[in-house]
Structure 1
């Protein structure tokens, strides 16, 4: 009987691993498709030809500015600031979609050598996208802003808050820790550092319970033909290592 039970447990484990791999593969494919669709951006507007709220065409600006003289680059910078201000005006008036269009246009014009200006444009566009509920896309822009300027507090703070919105709490905590290094007396940052570890612990426990629930349902499905259920098994947690073991009730 012991050998039979061991065989049942072994088969159940293999089936669960196979099912899990299929779920993970399916999820990965869906994420790849969403990434592709997000990169396309919305159709260009008639009043803003060839400009979307994404950055697919920004490499064109890089190739163009390589041939510009210093005077031309400075002139381009002034043009960028004018376009950015138009975007700011749209943002202040609540027209966040048009603000995105203007910030994208400014990014296309902005020479790559102006890293600070580009980081500000990415952060501004992230703010406009966030207002439209485009959280994932806004996160990408925040990351671009931080990559260009790692001590950009506004971009780091915005990204931390957006990570919280999508329940990526570990990443949010990492950003708040970086912010604490830059502004150790920031009340908002210190507050987040106080409550986030508790939220992460609660989130982890919730995920564990959900996982065990799914494992129990799957286990019952496979054990039913043998006249067994997961109630015939006991799950024990090792208080030292935090690992789990499964024993059959006798």
Structure 2
């Protein structure tokens, strides 16, 4: 299914190409047409998997894209596999943003098949909670569209168990890429992904170990990133302020924020000597 070999390292530069989209309209094909399109898609995917195995990640991305173009756009699981595989290629190429985008497409497609239960919420005036599952989560109701997508899933020989296994893989890839981006926002996203993974009962032991380690390592990295970005923002604001004050012979150094210990508030003080 999805490539798993992590031993290859890309040594050549890669010309970035946007990931192709699925077919633009939700066209439903006859059984014969669907089978033919799916066969074409699987052939392209097999070629892409071979490229991945030999370390030709850019070529693999191209072939996975061709597989996406051939696949009926209502086969969410098949498309999610391809997007997740593209994310794996971008991880090998250290193209973190592209890996996040591709993995997110996979996660979004799987969400249409198997919506993640939301935390319980208040139900309004009477203060009653919404219908809850066993772990205090809201029960997800299957609408007609989701039911049709599940029928498509079953027709291609896949199950919700396959969906959940693939979701783990896609979330791990997205979390890894977000962590490597190393911004405050991306690290918060990685923490959310790892937290979601930690609540998945079917997580493999090695994956569970990866998740636990990440959840331990992320908090200090988040704090560091927050301080770094706040300092950078304050530096830019100071530069902007100095540009405004310069014609008046002043700078931001002439102004200080002083805390009032009694009230806990702050006041601005002007120092003309600086």
Q: Normalised by the size of structure 1, how large is the TM-score?
A: 0.66
Change (3 A) 1:238 1:75: farther
Query: How far did residue 145 of structure 1 move?
Result: 0.2
- Aligned residue for 2:52? 91
CA contact (8 A) 1:55 1:104 kept: yes
User: What is the match of residue 188 of structure 1?
Assistant: 210
Number of residue-to-residue matches in the alignment:
194
Distance (Å, rounded) in 2 between the aligned partners of 1:238 and 1:136: 44
Equivalent residues of 1:142, 1:158 under 8 A apart: yes
| Structure 2: segments with no counterpart, 5+ residues | 1-15, 112-163
Q: CA deviation at 1:231?
A: 3.0
Q: Secondary structure at the match of 1:182?
A: coil
* 5+ long unaligned stretches in structure 1: 1-40, 43-52
Which SS does the other structure have where 1:160 is aligned?
helix
* Conserved 8 A contact 1:232-1:248: yes
Q: Measured at CA, do residues 202 and 104 of structure 1 come closer, stay the same or move farther in structure 2, by a change above 3 Å?
A: same
TM superposition score normalised by structure 2: 0.61
Q: Deviations over 1:155-199 (max 9, x none)?
A: 111111111222211111111111111157611111111221221
Report the CA distance between 1:61 and its aligned residue.
8.0
Among residues 156, 165, 173, which one is paired with 2:180 in the alignment? 165
- Distance of 1:171 and 1:189 partners within structure 2: 14
Do 2:86 and 2:99's aligned partners in 1 also have CA atoms closer than 8 Å?
yes
Give the whole-Å Cα distance in 2 for the aligned partners of 1:238 and 1:156.
47
Q: Which deviates further from its counterpart, 79-88 or 89-98?
A: 79-88
Residue-by-residue CA offset, 1:88-117 (whole Å, 9 max, x unaligned): 001101111211121111111112332111
Deviation at 1:133, TM superposition (A): 4.0
Q: Deviations over 1:178-224 (max 9, x none)?
A: 11111576111111112212211111112222222233333334434
> Is residue 26–residue 74 contact of structure 2 (8 Å, CA) maintained in 1?
no
**What is the match of residue 215 of structure 1?**
237
For the aligned residue pairs, the C-alpha RMSD in angstroms reads 2.9
What is the CA–CA distance in structure 1 between the aligned matches of 2:244 and 2:24, rounded to whole Å?
57
* Cα 1:174–1:218 shift into 2, 3 Å: same
Please identify which structure carries the higher helix content: 1
